[in-house]
Amino acid sequence: MAEPAAVDEFHLARARSVAVLGRAATAAGVGVLALVTVPLLLPAGALRMSLLVLAGTVSAAALVLICLAALRVVRPPVLLRANDRGMRVHALRGAGLRSVAWSEVRAVRSESLRVGSSVIVEHQDGRCAVIPASLVDEGGSALTRVLRARLDAAHGQRRL
């Protein structure tokens, strides 16, 4: 029985989730502060009740967002998987190609685009998968190195 192909996984950068976590914590804090101060500042009435409902909704939504962001910090989602047969992009919209076999790849390169440094996987027909290096937790240079090695191995080449 053949051994399963080794799989390289690259994850979404934790820094992105930490940034969302910080913004959500701020929003939750503002919501809780509003929940405490609104009853002290406003007399009973429709305005007070509306502001309390709004502050409660903001706080609850921010707390849910905090939980989701914290989970993504602990276990970041897989951004890209590569094996001996090809690669597949996950959890990234607008990347272009989602899945490609190494036999159909023309080149793997790093390039500076308007979104910053990016890893570009070019298909034989000219389509590309673009992965911003800042989104890769393991780093764009590691991603480029692994993808080039996979492409070279698939075409029977070795780097000197």
**Angstrom distance (rounded) from CA 78 to CA 110:** 20
Is 52 in the same domain as 82?
no
The reported pLDDT for the residue numbered 51 is: 86
Q: What is the arithmetic mean of pLDDT over 89-95?
A: 73
Evaluate if residue 4 carries a pLDDT over 60. Answer: no
Q: What is the arithmetic mean of pLDDT over 27-34?
A: 86
Tokens of 126: 């000219």
How many distinct structural domains can be found in the chain? 2
The answer as to whether 7 is a domain residue is no
Is 148 in the same domain as 111?
yes
**Angle between the 14-41 and 46-74 helix axes, to the nearest 10 degrees?**
160
Radius of gyration for the alpha carbons in the chain, expressed in angstroms and rounded: 23
Evaluate if residue 69 carries a pLDDT over 70. Answer: yes
pTM, two decimals, is 0.70
Contacts of 125-132 with CB under 8 Å at 24 or more apart are 127/96, 127/97, 128/96, 128/97, 129/87, 129/89, 129/95, 129/96, 129/97, 129/98, 129/100, 130/95, 130/96, 131/79, 131/80, 131/89, 131/92, 131/95
The answer as to whether 4 is a domain residue is no
Least confident of 1-10, 103-112, 141-150: 1-10
On the CB side of 155, CA atoms within 13 Å amount to: 15
Q: What is the arithmetic mean of pLDDT over 128-145?
A: 85
The answer as to whether 86 is a domain residue is yes
| 62, 63, 64, 70: CA torsion to nearest 10 | 100
The reported pLDDT for the residue numbered 3 is: 47
Q: What is the arithmetic mean of pLDDT over 99-107?
A: 88
The reported pLDDT for the residue numbered 65 is: 86
Paired residues of 123 in beta bridges: 105
Evaluate if residue 2 carries a pLDDT over 50. Answer: no
Tokens of 25: 């914590």
The answer as to whether 149 is a domain residue is yes
Domain boundary among the residues 43, 74, 105 is at 74
